[in-house]
Structure 1
Amino acid sequence: MPAVSLSDNPHLGYLRNRARELQRGVRRGDPDALRRLADQRVDVPGEPTAFPLSGAQLTVARECGFASWPRLRRYLDVVAQYRWDAAPEPAGAGDVAGEFCRLACLTYANDGPVRWQRARDLLAEHPTVTRDSVWAAAAAVDVAAVRAQLAAEPALARRRGGPYQWRPLFYLAYSRLDPAVPVGAVLEIARLLLDNGADPDEGYLWNGLPTPFTLLTGAFGEGEQGPERQPRHPHSLALARLLLDAGANPSDGQTLYNRMFRPDDDHLALLFEYGLGVGDGGVWKRRLGEALESPADMMRGQLAWAIDHDFLDRVRLLVRHGVDIVSPLDDGRTPAARAAWSARRAIVEFLVAHGAPAPDPDPVDDLIGAAMAADRPAVRRLVDAYPEVAEQARQRRPGLLVWAAADGRREAVALIAELGFDVNALGRGDTPGETPWNTALHEAAASGDLDLARALLALGADPDITDARFAGTPLGWARHFERQAMVELLEPVTTEPPPGDDGSTGSTP
């Protein structure tokens, strides 16, 4: 893993200064500077005062995950060329087309139906806005306007413009203006633009981050904010198939990420038709080098997520298409061992049946799996056979209640609490790791699971505990996720700071 995140400041000037500071530190014998060289296997000359800048640059490059300084520089050049700033300023009063495009499209910053309604209202007020802007015409799916502008100037299909400096096909793929837009109109515009030179692998680096948001990403949609705020394109599969037929690379890491949160796999089924997970990664891998995962690594990441979240059908699909289930994953565990750690019994059995090495016998993992499955007889047998196993499980997985609550496993929550796990422990619900982020009650509040929240409160859950990332109480989370019934449950039992206090109860994820 890189020691330095380029997302913090991917600018050459910043990294040059970092290299110069490192060079000075080595020359004066600073222990931290010397440690950094040792960590990156860069030799110190016999006389440290002669340490060259090139050695410091190599160290910084390796800390960022690159094999050399020139490769890091090439990456930064790509970022400068393809960067997409997701939250541009509103267009000026005279730029109706620009403001329409800004509101009509997914941005992965501030999305939602309110924006798209404002775009529809703006288009209704200015129906001719698409006449002189091919980008607005694409976002509005105005076939006649796109055809007329391309007939007059075919090069418009390849020209950047609008508030995001995208090319027209991108505005089409990311538009969420009209859920009822005719599929024929969408595909006709896509073909017109492709026939006039649009690139089916078009993509941009969101706020300079290294995983490209491509046309396929826009077509498949979704993401961390969910399908209501970041929905799929209304004709997701049809548009994606057209792009794939035109040559788009199916190993699209951002698509895989955005669509991994829910169990639906139609995107994977289509992408596998076109070679997902194999090959060299295409044009974006050549541009970004070490900063972008290989197709095989992308698929291993998908396998890990599917295991963690009990997406057995996805595991089956991945195995059917040859994803490696033998080698250790990024946490050092084999897939079957990861499934045991995540308390996914059915996935363990499936993987072992299909050739994965069985996890080593472990009473603690067995107890955790039995508790997560709310299998009281199995829990009793293990506790009787290994008197210390419950204490060992509490030490190994202190945040297990958070993991169970994120799964909505009410019976498991009760059983885990009976085993002595702290109902107010901090953990995380998106992976089975033990990062101390939030409580089980936060998870219940976010999901709106009233029965689970009541059960946790009865077990002694403290509604005033704030999470470690956003400093929000469960009530704050319920408000953020618009769980009104949960808000009504938690308001009477939550102590909120008075107005003007520096408390953070109302903060949100």
Structure 2
Amino acid sequence: MPTDSPSARPLLPQNPDLDHLRGQARTLQRAVRGGDADAARRVLAHGLATEALTLSSAQLVVAREHGFPSWPKLKHHLDTITRYRWDPADAKADTSAEPPADRFARLACLSYTDADGPDRWDEAARLLAEHSALVDRSPWAAAAAADLDALRRHLAADPATATRRGGPNGWTPLFHLVYSRLQRTDWPGQGDPLGCARLLLGAGADPHEGYLWHGLPTPFTLLTGAFGAGELGPERQPGHPDSLALARLLLDAGADPSDGQTLYNRMFGSDDSHLRLLFEYGLGQGDGGVWKARLGDALDTPQEMLRGQLGWAVNHRLGARVRLLTEHGVDVRTPLADGRTPAERARRNGDPELVAYLVAHGAETPAPDPVEALLGAALAGDATEVAALCAAHPTAAAGARAARPSAMVWAAAHDGPGAMRILAELGFDVNALGRSDIPSDQPWETALHRAAGDGDVASVRLLLELGADPAIRDRRFDGTALDWARHFGHGAVEAALLELVKREEREE
């Protein structure tokens, strides 16, 4: 089965609600009985009869549409979510009445929301400096501060503290410890995260501890917190300063190395230290451990997790990661989610060296395909090969434009001016909307948006020369390329775009 997803399969939204899903089933039942053709097709697609559709049959359809084989399986999954769900606090809420210990513990820790960042940790450090005794009032604050002596006092007074959830996040002390980023600041004190971790694990803290962020099925575990990283980047969601040592302690204590959220959060960068450590402890092997038993098919298997990592690494030309995954036995032959093998996808993305590596390590040589070859040569900036392919296959350029209309967006993010010039000469639309994080034609942003967001002045100027329209708004944030430049603080790009606007105004 093609697989390429770093996240779980079921299609449930954040914080799914059983009553809401029951309502969907009742609505479907009424629609079918009322003669609605689309509703009937949904039922027939699952091999069920539409005549006198029962509520249980409608519930089965809803369950299957959300990736579950039955309604009881869906209900069991929602029960598990209810037990482990965690919703981060509203960053805009008024916390003026919050006790200092709670406020400190909340500010010190990553929440995986837009509120994360150095400003919060700096504020936590100032709060600790002003209220140094707060670590004695709260074991969760003591853990966030990595204050070993304070934690010892809390455990001496009540040994059950090691496993008790509390504080502003409703987490155990060990969770506060590994999610804290206080030591990323100049804070008054010398915390001992490793000593605290050993103390808490020795007192019975669970190395499998985790929560389901907004009820989504991939758990945020202790390992996730130790390794850090994520969609907001290394400045706002960094790893713990002692990430590898903390992770090793957790793995020695029994944490499962096949941690899907860790793999997802860390895949955006090029650092593979987390993978090397996790492979040392059996990443990709076994049955998925405690969380797979809890979540069942809602969670990828360890092998599927690594296939997702391979797909991402191939897409983003992370050759060292592809080699590391291949060396540890990850399947490089089976097609990924788009039906292409890793080697075929590497060719399409303009990475001939990676194609050669994959073929040398067991992948089949991609079958001749002038359209795919032309796309790859264009994105690789190989003008000579592009010319040869166009001469030999006169219709290949039209096929390439039809196969990947937003290639210019991908080139702006990954390939640079050479590839963009070639694509423009081949007739690709410089204003096409697409995605730059994955090779998809989903209409998110233009190449100019991407270049402006990256602060790439040379690419911005080239795109404007090629006819990019700075007035186009992206489909996610409704912003222009100038808005993107301002949001990311790229003054040089902003100046280049304003120069064009002023020139056009003068010409008018």
Asked if TM exceeds 0.5, the reply is: yes
State the 1:474 CA deviation.
1.1
State the 1:397 CA deviation.
1.4
User: Where does residue 124 of structure 2 map in the other structure?
Assistant: 119
* In the alignment, structure 1 residue 107 sits paired with structure 2 residue 127: no
* In the alignment, structure 1 residue 469 sits paired with structure 2 residue 465: no
Q: Name the CA distance, whole Å, in 1 between partners of 2:367 and 2:37.
A: 41
TM-score by length of 2: 0.93
Matches within 5 A, 1:252-271: 252-271=259-278
* In the alignment, structure 1 residue 403 sits paired with structure 2 residue 410: yes
Among 14, 17, 24, the alignment partner of 1:11 is 17
- Structure 1: 5+ residue stretches without partners: 496-509
Q: Name the CA distance, whole Å, in 2 between partners of 1:3 and 1:190.
A: 33
User: Where does residue 506 of structure 2 map in the other structure?
Assistant: none
The answer (yes or no) to whether the contact 1:341–1:432 under 8 Å persists in 2 is no
The answer (yes or no) to whether the contact 2:128–2:134 under 8 Å persists in 1 is yes
Cα distance per residue 1:426-471 (max 9 Å; x no partner): 1111111211211111111111111111111122211111111111
Q: Which amino acid aligns with 2:419?
A: A
Partner secondary structure for residue 205 of structure 1: strand
* In the alignment, structure 1 residue 445 sits paired with structure 2 residue 452: yes
User: Where does residue 418 of structure 1 map in the other structure?
Assistant: 425
* In the alignment, structure 1 residue 168 sits paired with structure 2 residue 188: no
* In the alignment, structure 1 residue 98 sits paired with structure 2 residue 102: yes
Distance 1:342-1:40 versus aligned 2 partners, 3 A rule: farther
Deviates more, 1:346-355 or 1:226-235: 346-355
Q: Name the CA distance, whole Å, in 2 between partners of 1:4 and 1:329.
A: 18
Among 317, 339, 343, the alignment partner of 1:336 is 343
User: Where does residue 137 of structure 1 map in the other structure?
Assistant: 142
Partner secondary structure for residue 106 of structure 2: helix
User: Where does residue 316 of structure 2 map in the other structure?
Assistant: 309
Deviates more, 1:173-182 or 1:308-317: 173-182
* In the alignment, structure 1 residue 21 sits paired with structure 2 residue 23: no
Deviates more, 1:408-417 or 1:277-286: 408-417
Among 369, 373, 376, the alignment partner of 2:380 is 373
Deviates more, 1:456-465 or 1:241-250: 456-465
Cα distance per residue 1:203-223 (max 9 Å; x no partner): 111111111111111111111
User: Where does residue 83 of structure 2 map in the other structure?
Assistant: 81
Distance 1:227-1:321 versus aligned 2 partners, 3 A rule: same
Q: Which amino acid aligns with 1:69?
A: W
Distance 1:94-1:18 versus aligned 2 partners, 3 A rule: closer
Q: Name the CA distance, whole Å, in 1 between partners of 2:223 and 2:216.
A: 17
Cα distance per residue 1:177-233 (max 9 Å; x no partner): 112789981111011111111111111111111111111111111111110011110
Among 286, 298, 302, the alignment partner of 1:279 is 286
The answer (yes or no) to whether the contact 1:408–1:452 under 8 Å persists in 2 is no
User: Where does residue 501 of structure 1 map in the other structure?
Assistant: none
Q: Name the CA distance, whole Å, in 1 between partners of 2:118 and 2:487.
A: 16
Higher relative contact order (CA 8 A, sep 6+): 2
Matches within 5 A, 1:458-497: 458-494=465-501
Partner secondary structure for residue 212 of structure 2: strand
Q: Which amino acid aligns with 2:241?
A: P
Q: Name the CA distance, whole Å, in 1 between partners of 2:84 and 2:10.
A: 21
Cα distance per residue 1:260-287 (max 9 Å; x no partner): 1111111100000111111111111111
Q: Name the CA distance, whole Å, in 2 between partners of 1:342 and 1:38.
A: 39
Q: Name the CA distance, whole Å, in 2 between partners of 1:364 and 1:86.
A: 47
State the 1:343 CA deviation.
2.2
* In the alignment, structure 1 residue 146 sits paired with structure 2 residue 151: yes
The answer (yes or no) to whether the contact 2:263–2:309 under 8 Å persists in 1 is yes
Among 36, 41, 47, the alignment partner of 1:35 is 41
* In the alignment, structure 1 residue 44 sits paired with structure 2 residue 49: yes
* In the alignment, structure 1 residue 249 sits paired with structure 2 residue 256: yes
Distance 1:26-1:250 versus aligned 2 partners, 3 A rule: same
Cα distance per residue 1:48-74 (max 9 Å; x no partner): 22x322212211111111111111111
Partner secondary structure for residue 235 of structure 2: helix
Q: Name the CA distance, whole Å, in 1 between partners of 2:58 and 2:190.
A: 55
State the 1:492 CA deviation.
3.6
Q: Name the CA distance, whole Å, in 2 between partners of 1:307 and 1:454.
A: 29
User: Where does residue 505 of structure 2 map in the other structure?
Assistant: none
Distance 1:408-1:393 versus aligned 2 partners, 3 A rule: closer
Q: Name the CA distance, whole Å, in 2 between partners of 1:185 and 1:438.
A: 45
The answer (yes or no) to whether the contact 2:135–2:145 under 8 Å persists in 1 is yes
What is the alpha-carbon root mean square deviation over aligned residues? 1.9
User: Where does residue 500 of structure 1 map in the other structure?
Assistant: none
TM-score by length of 1: 0.93
Distance 1:90-1:79 versus aligned 2 partners, 3 A rule: farther
Partner secondary structure for residue 204 of structure 1: strand
Q: Name the CA distance, whole Å, in 2 between partners of 1:220 and 1:168.
A: 17
State the 1:256 CA deviation.
0.6
Q: Which amino acid aligns with 2:56?
A: S
State the 1:33 CA deviation.
2.2
Q: Name the CA distance, whole Å, in 2 between partners of 1:131 and 1:8.
A: 36
Q: Which amino acid aligns with 2:167?
A: G
Partner secondary structure for residue 211 of structure 2: strand
Q: Which amino acid aligns with 1:234?
A: P
Q: Name the CA distance, whole Å, in 1 between partners of 2:54 and 2:63.
A: 15
The answer (yes or no) to whether the contact 1:40–1:63 under 8 Å persists in 2 is no
Q: Name the CA distance, whole Å, in 1 between partners of 2:181 and 2:275.
A: 22
Q: Name the CA distance, whole Å, in 2 between partners of 1:253 and 1:334.
A: 22
The answer (yes or no) to whether the contact 2:397–2:426 under 8 Å persists in 1 is yes
State the 1:40 CA deviation.
2.5
Deviates more, 1:300-309 or 1:67-76: 67-76
